Chain A
Amino acid sequence: MTTSKTIAIIGASGSMGTAISSSLAKTGNYSLLLMSDQTESLPELKSSLEQYHSNTQVHIIDCAKEASWEADIIILATPFQAEKDLAEKIREVATGKIVISIANPLNSTFDGFVTTPDTSAAEELQKLLPNSTVIKAFNTTFAADFAHTVIDGKQVDSFIAGDQETALNTVAELVAGVGFNPIIAGDLKVSRTLENMQLLMIQLGMKYNYNWLAGWKILHN
């Protein structure tokens, strides 16, 4: 094993967690630590991930703190509502690490957010983890998009926001590695826009029946 990065996926058994884990496993660039409260599906996920690439190492860890302790990068593939408790558990061991916030703080009727307009899920997470570097990523991509990063002949854009340049570049590399076109959108405050973009996408998806296979693409010359 070399100095490849270790990524903890907290919430690995959910649809986004599984999609992200699978995409990362296919690159062969990372060691993956799978953590979920629903542990029963993880052994099967681990075996399927290990078949994607001979370099991919996968471990199941039943504790968010332990997984985050071993990780270089932590992906919280969990609902916004779970982040407060999780942040408490991992705060100490996440010091100095990149924590990726994928959550959109949707309300129960999917027509608005539980956060106020002057903040975002990512900014709230950053407040809970003051010594970590929170980066917003993968919130504008549906789980199904990970298996189809090209839709209608166009590579899906994946937006990233955060306050630290090195961390943004690390995450952009990760996003590109799984097949999306990474676009660094701005500082962490831009997460407000990114989260609203996905609220719109969800609403449009339901209205026009996109069947969860839809994504954003900026057309430009």
Chain B
Amino acid sequence: MYELLIENIRSKVAISEAEEEQLKKYFIPKKYRKRQYLLNGGDICKYFSFVVDGLIRSFTVDDKGHEHVVQFAAEGWWVSDMGSFLEETEAMYHIEAIEDVEVLNLTKPAMEEMLNELPVMERYFRILMQKNIVTLQQRVVADHSLTAEEKYLRLMEIYPKLIHRAPQQQVASYLGITPETLSRIRKQVAEKGD
């Protein structure tokens, strides 16, 4: 249940066995069914979720009712509406299980308690957040400057297995292109690869 999380923590910081054991008490183990919502937009996001198994997406819905995928989160990734989670404001995002999902949920009070009692986790989250900011900045630049094909190749690099797990419509939505364009790009990329 905690192996992947501990592996993830160990990849960023040095953590003792006693600390590994202690951190378990802060996380709520939870399963969601395919298509179940972890968060409904407009609610207050109560959890910062570490994905142990399965695939999750976060998305927004515009005034016309169109969905825009913001993030995919598979095994080893964290997902949340951070603004809502930290500020306790209404969530901008919906978060949905694309597959049956197992996560470890962290509430804000549990997270605060953990960071106070386990300084090593403060360091872990600092490194995690740093990486997250870098990724977000790259994403902003990518959105402005990359072609659709380049965006697709970038996605393959970040989420190599995801391309085949997520519905193509959602992958297209993440890239900001139509499913038809995605299909054409995939063909082009496959042909180049041959």
SS of A interface (majority): loop
Contact with B along A82-100 (1 / 0, CB 8 A): 0000000000110111000
Q: Classify chain A's interface size.
A: 10 to 19
Which B residues touch A3, using CB under 8 A? 37-40, 43
Contact with B along A105-120 (1 / 0, CB 8 A): 0000000000000000
Q: Which of B20-28, B66-74, B165-173 contacts A (4 or more CB under 8 A)?
A: B20-28
Contact with A along B26-58 (1 / 0, CB 8 A): 111111110111111001000000000000000
B interface residues (Cβ-Cβ under 8 A, vs A)? 1, 24-33, 35-40, 43, 102, 105, 107, 110
For residue A46, give the distance in angstroms from its CB to the closest CB of chain B. Answer: 15
- Whether A1 pairs with B35 at a CB distance below 8 angstroms is yes
- Whether B40 pairs with A69 at a CB distance below 8 angstroms is no
Chain A CB count within 10 A is highest, among B1, B29, B39, B43, for B29
Knowing A1-B36, A3-B39 are in contact, say whether A96-B31 is a contact too (CB < 8 A): no
Knowing A92-B1, A96-B107 are in contact, say whether A2-B37 is a contact too (CB < 8 A): yes
Can you pick out 30 interface pairs between chain A and chain B where the beta carbons lie within 8 Å of each other? A1-B35, A1-B36, A1-B37, A2-B40, A2-B43, A3-B37, A3-B38, A3-B39, A3-B43, A66-B31, A69-B30, A69-B102, A70-B30, A70-B32, A72-B30, A92-B1, A92-B29, A93-B1, A93-B29, A95-B24, A95-B25, A95-B27, A95-B28, A95-B29, A96-B27, A96-B28, A96-B105, A96-B107, A96-B110, A131-B25
Which B residues touch A1, using CB under 8 A? 35-37
- Whether B25 pairs with A69 at a CB distance below 8 angstroms is no
For residue B119, give the distance in angstroms from its CB to the closest CB of chain A. Answer: 21
CA distance A125 to B178 in the complex (A): 54
Closest 4 A-B residue pairs measured CB to CB?
A96-B28, A2-B40, A70-B31, A3-B40
